[in-house]
Each structure stands twice: as structure tokens, then as C-alpha cells.
Amino acid sequence: MMLRCFRAKKTSMDADRDLEELTTMVASLRRHLQRMERAGIRNLSIARDADGKAPEPSQASWLRGVEGGLFSDHAEACRATSLEELRAAIGDCRRCKLWPGRTHLVFGVGNPQAHVMFIGEGPGRDEDLQGEPFVGRAGQLLTDIIVKGMGLGREDVYIANVVKCRPPENRNPEPDEVEACEPFLLRQIELISPRVIVALGKFAVQTLLKTKAPITRLRGVWHEFNGIKIMPTFHPAYLLRNPGDKKLVWQDIKKVIEELRTPVT
């Protein structure tokens, strides 16, 4: 009897250890899949048999659950086929530490088929309160750029931010917050598939281009992001403090207008 109890106890300890190991493995695999997801890899290749044949679709069907990252917090979002589905997949997001401070999650606004997409850093106070990006003083300046400068309406373009929840005291989003939120932006870009992205300010452009180069060096020249042309320029909030640089932004926007007028070949 004693022996049986000891064995039972030992088995339970083994099970605890196995569970712990499994949890560690799952966490590690999850991080790996998230890295792959961020790198744009959303399908895992299917192992072939000894003759080099891929399994029949019926055999491989269980693998379909892996597509988009079985262990990923973002799997549903990555599979969204419309902005509505993406917004629903984000839900009442608590994937990073910004969620407790938000009034509204600021998803994005505009034409889902826009040719031009403006991407800023994150919501400020007004945006957080209203649930819409670029609605404060800086937002008014962006609206002027779109309406008076480009001859478009806000409803013709799409406007979003790198992070969807307001960082406290309008500080820069931290790397873990960007990491948690970036897959949503990437899927937004994929779904909208704009011809041109205008990256507003240092933070947005450095995030998209994965560079530490200063905005003064990046702005005004075309870059590429996943096959989409990207024009970095100053953030409208910066222009409120440095109105003398509005002429530089106008130079950048003229290049965007020119690009949009160029027939697609």
C-alpha cells in the first residue's frame, strides 16, 4: 500500500514536471511562430514522406489549424479577410500593457480600398476620447494636407497608427507594445493594399522600415515596405511646433500626388 502511494505520488510529480516542460515548449514555439508571423511567414511547409510525396489534403487537414500560427495571439487577426473581421479579431484587446489606460481602441478610419494610407504613431488624448485617429490639432493639420493639399477627403484615404491604444502621457510606444500591436497594422496594410503609404514621423517610419535612421534622413525619398512605396515625412504634431518645416512636408506630399497620378503599369 505504502509502495503504491509512493508510486502514485512520484507519477504525479512526473506529470507536474512534464506539464511544466510542455508549457515551456509551447511558450517557446509560440514566440517562434510570432517571429515567423512578423517576418511574413504564415504557412508552415508540410513534411513529405520517404518517397518525397506530400500528404493528401485530407491527411494534412489538421495542419490547416497551424496556418496563421496555432499558438499565436494574432492567428485570428492574421486570417481576417476584411477590416471588419480584423477589428472583431482584435476585440477588447489586452495583448499589451497599454489597454488599461485607453478609453477607446483606435483601430483606423477611411476607405478600405484607399490608394494612400497615412500611418502615425499612436492615439493621443483626443483620439483616445473619440476613438478615431488624427482628430486633435495635429489631426486638423493632417486633414488640411489631405483636403487642401491633395484634393482628397479623409474618407478617400485610410488613416491608422502603429499602436491602437494611447500610450500614457503621449510617450513613445515601447518595443513590447509595438511587437504586440504590429501584426494588426500589418494585416490592415495587407487588406487595404494601398499604392502608397505616408509614414508620419520618426516612430512610424522607423517601425515600418526597421531602421534607426533619423527622420531627417529618411523623409522625402521613396522607400519600400512589402512591395508598397512608402514616403516618410514629418508628423503633423512636429509641424505644430516647427511650422517652418511645413514646406518640406509639402515637397514630400507633392511626390505622393505625382506617384498617385502615375498610371499603374
Least separation in angstroms between CB 90 and ligand SF4? 6
Q: Which is nearer to ligand SF4, 95 or 235 (CB)?
A: 95
Q: Which is nearer to ligand SF4, 51 or 92 (CB)?
A: 92
- Residues near ligand SF4, by CB under 6 A: 90, 93-96, 98-99, 105, 163-165, 177, 180-181
Least separation in angstroms between CB 105 and ligand SF4? 5
Gap between the Cα atoms of 104 and 107, Å rounded: 9
Alpha helices in the chain (DSSP H): 2-38, 57-60, 75-79, 83-90, 125-130, 137-144, 175-192, 201-209, 215-218, 236-241, 246-261
The residues, any chain, with a CB within 8 Å of residue 239's CB and separated by 6 or more, are 138, 141, 245, 246, 249
Q: Which is nearer to ligand SF4, 121 or 232 (CB)?
A: 121
Q: Which is nearer to ligand SF4, 123 or 145 (CB)?
A: 123
Least separation in angstroms between CB 38 and ligand SF4? 13
Query: 197 is written with which cell numbers?
Result: 503609404
Q: Which is nearer to ligand SF4, 167 or 218 (CB)?
A: 167
Collapsed DSSP state (helix, strand, coil) of residue 108: coil
Least separation in angstroms between CB 141 and ligand SF4? 24
Gap between the Cα atoms of 178 and 47, Å rounded: 33
Least separation in angstroms between CB 207 and ligand SF4? 13
Contact 252, 231 (CB under 8 A): yes
- Residue matched to cell numbers 489631405: 146
